[in-house]
Amino acid sequence: GAVVSQHPSRVICKSGTSVKIECRSLDFQATTMFWYRQFPKKSLMLMATSNEGSKATYEQGVEKDKFLINHASLTLSTLTVTSAHPEDSSFYICSARDLAGEAHEQYFGPGTRLTVT
Amino acid sequence: KNEVEQSPQNLTAQEGEFITINCSYSVGISALHWLQQHPGGGIVSLFMLSSGKKKHGRLIATINIQEKHSSLHITASHPRDSAVYICAVTGAGSYQLTFGKGTKLSVIP
């Protein structure tokens, strides 16, 4: 089946630094990728929709200057958390739509746990 | 906006029991997804449904479009089935998912 990877799986950074998280579709092309955030014991919250070759669409309340998204190729989207603060600590998950697959099928990455100290 | 409700929120079962998790939604959809999230955090897509029924191993998912309801069944449950099961829907004309709050399943040996 389709595989989505995320790197890193865990990252600890100091307050004020920036962290980049990568989401890759390993065996398919993805024109659209989604970035989610999950707080402990809560459901996933959509942050933004990433479209290859164009600007990401951010959900209401998500700061686009803080959470920079780049989708430069059909297999890679990156989320950069800029000037991270402890409240940005969370579990970040991406998903990707297979360009050649069923219309509503999405494949999820394993997630990245970010801790900001 | 679609409201997705799952029940129960928490479920404890003995190994071997038949398990049912329910999901209802408020507005017509293009597809409904059942997802599994283990304690480590990664999410696995179990099923995507737009009608009828799908079966994969011990897992069965059904959907009733008219009643806006879906069920996930697990036959002969096993401790390794312990996870959070999440129902999510995509609305007409959209690929964005709206998630339920999840059902935490614990299967005891």
Is A105 in contact with B48 (Cβ distance < 8 A)? yes
Indicate the SS3 state at residue B96.
Answer: coil
Partners of residue A102 in chain B, C-beta under 8 Å: 48
Could you tell me the two tokens for A24?
A: 């890759």
Residue A1: which pLDDT band, with cuts at 50, 70 and 90? low
pLDDT tens, residue by residue, B82-109: 999 999 999 877 788 899 999 999 999 9
CA distance A83 to chain B (A): 25
Q: Which helix (H) or strand (E) holds A71?
A: strand A67-73
Sequence-distant (≥ 6) Cβ neighbours of residue A17 within 8 angstroms: A83, A84
Q: From CA A56, how far away is CA A41, in angstroms rounded?
A: 27
Count the neighbouring beta carbons within 10 Å of the beta carbon of residue B63. Answer: 22
Q: From CA A64, how far away is CA A49, in angstroms rounded?
A: 11
Determine the average pLDDT of the residues in B64-82: 96
Sequence-distant (≥ 6) Cβ neighbours of residue B99 within 8 angstroms: A43, A44, B4, B86, B87, B88
The answer for B 13-32 residues in CB contact with A (under 8 A) is: 30-31
Does residue B42 carry a pLDDT above 80?
yes
Confidence (pLDDT) at B93: 75
Q: Which residue has the higher pLDDT, A98 or A84?
A: A84
Taking CA–CA distances from A91, the nearest residue in chain B reads B41
Confidence (pLDDT) at A99: 78
Q: From CA A3, how far away is CA A17, in angstroms rounded?
A: 30
Question: Helices (H) and strands (E) in chain A — how many of each?
Answer: 0, 11
